[in-house]
Amino acid sequence: MHLEATRLAEPSQYAETVALLRFEGVSKHYATDGARVDALREITLSFQAGEFVSLAGPSGCGKSTLLNLAGAMDFPSSGTVSIDGVSTAALNDGALTRLRREKTGFVFQSFQLLQNLSVVENVELPLLLAGAPQARERALERLEWVELAGLADRLPHQLSGGQMQRAAIARALVNEPRILLADEPTGNLDTATGAVILALLRRIVDERGTLLLMATHSAEAAAASDRMVRLRDGRVEAPPAV
Ligand SMILES: Nc1ncnc2c1ncn2[C@@H]1O[C@H](COP(=O)(O)OP(=O)(O)O)[C@@H](O)[C@H]1O
Ligand SMILES: [Mg+2]
């Protein structure tokens, strides 16, 4: 009896029962000029490490809002978003900064590289901000991983769209986050280049065990995922009846 209780209290046992990322009864509303927008309504979802999940649904259905809450860039109006069992709303500023820096990475449709920094400088920036050692070396390793090492000294405008997105992915991965949040990552790319980026995202999930949450309009992108969550008017749509 005593032994059993001790075993259950071990951290490894605990980790198996706690979702990496969980939304529980999450609603988010915005108030603009007295009008209220319900961006998310009563969302309950759990996500585990090593899952590639697509968030589908029409423009305005709440995909970006959900990603922002998942990355603790914003907080629910009601309900709880928790990472490793800890509510993001309960964290103080220092803990939030660490969580954003160490556990999450963001990739955007428009890449959002700093135009006056070289590719490698963009990738090493999160490490420099974190005061991490060997920033240049680690940034170059990451660029090698996305097969962009030869372009490390270029400026972003000297890259193609697909190359810019690979650089942005290298930057998002440089802190080894367990959760990667991608907002329409293939939205500005042609189909063939989009497929290269989707294959790279798949590799990240499979080789690193990252949880990937990807908002997308594209059927091809959604098809690349393991699981699709469909949103409509801020709610999770029930899967079609079989
Ligand atoms: N910062 C904000 N202020 C006010 N309304 C917002 C804000 N962000 C999003 N919205 C509104 O919330 C709803 C969901 O938006 P969003 O999450 O961006 O959807 P999607 O990414 O699926 O297009 C939309 O009606 C949008 O106009
Ligand atoms: Mg959006």
CATH number of the CATH domain containing 113: 3.40.50.300
- pLDDT tens per residue, range 220-235: 899 999 999 999 999 9
Q: Does residue 79 fall inside a structural domain?
A: no
Closest ligand 1 atom, residue 40 Cα: 14
Work out the average pLDDT over 2-9.
47
Torsion sign over Cα 61, 64, 70, 76: negative
Q: How many folded domains does the chain comprise?
A: 1
Give the C-alpha separation, 151 to 158, whole Å.
9
Q: Does residue 183 fall inside a structural domain?
A: yes
Look-up of token digits 């009563």: 42
pLDDT at 220: 87
Q: Does residue 206 fall inside a structural domain?
A: yes
Q: Does residue 18 fall inside a structural domain?
A: no
pLDDT at 240: 64
Q: Does residue 159 fall inside a structural domain?
A: yes
Expressed in angstroms and rounded, the spacing between residue 84 Cα and the centre of ligand 1 is 26
Q: Does residue 188 fall inside a structural domain?
A: yes
Ligand 1 neighbour 199 (Cβ under 6 A): no
One-letter identity of residue 165: Q
Give the number of whichever ligand sits closest to the CA of residue 233.
Answer: 1
Its domain, for residue 184, covers 49-73+90-236
DSSP 34: T
pLDDT at 7 over 60: no
Ligand 1 neighbour 64 (Cβ under 6 A): yes
Ligand 1 neighbour 187 (Cβ under 6 A): no
Give the C-alpha separation, 198 to 184, whole Å.
11
Give the number of whichever ligand sits closest to the CA of residue 37.
Answer: 1
Closest ligand 1 atom, residue 57 Cα: 22
Give the C-alpha separation, 164 to 232, whole Å.
31
Q: Does residue 41 fall inside a structural domain?
A: no
- Ligand 1 pocket test target in 54, 64, 69, 109 with most atoms within 8 Å of CB: 64
- pLDDT tens per residue, range 43-95: 999 999 999 999 999 999 999 999 999 999 999 999 999 999 999 999 999 99
- pLDDT tens per residue, range 153-184: 999 999 999 999 999 999 999 999 999 999 99
Give the C-alpha separation, 229 to 214, whole Å.
10
Q: Give residues whose Cβ lies within 5 Å of ion ligand 2.
A: 63-64
Task: Compute CA distances 61 → 13, 28, 67, 171, 184, whole Å.
Answer: 37, 12, 12, 28, 14
Expressed in angstroms and rounded, the spacing between residue 154 Cα and the centre of ligand 1 is 35
Give the C-alpha separation, 238 to 242, whole Å.
12
Give the number of whichever ligand sits closest to the CA of residue 68.
Answer: 1
Q: Does residue 21 fall inside a structural domain?
A: no
Task: Write the burial class of residue 36 (CB in 10 Å: 0-12 exposed, 13-18 middle, 19+ buried).
Answer: exposed
Least confident piece of the model among 29-38, 48-57, 113-122, 188-197: 29-38
Give the C-alpha separation, 139 to 145, whole Å.
10
pLDDT at 3: 47
- Better-predicted residue by pLDDT, 82 or 218: 82
pTM, two decimal places: 0.91
Expressed in angstroms and rounded, the spacing between residue 62 Cα and the centre of ligand 1 is 6
Look-up of token digits 């801020």: 234
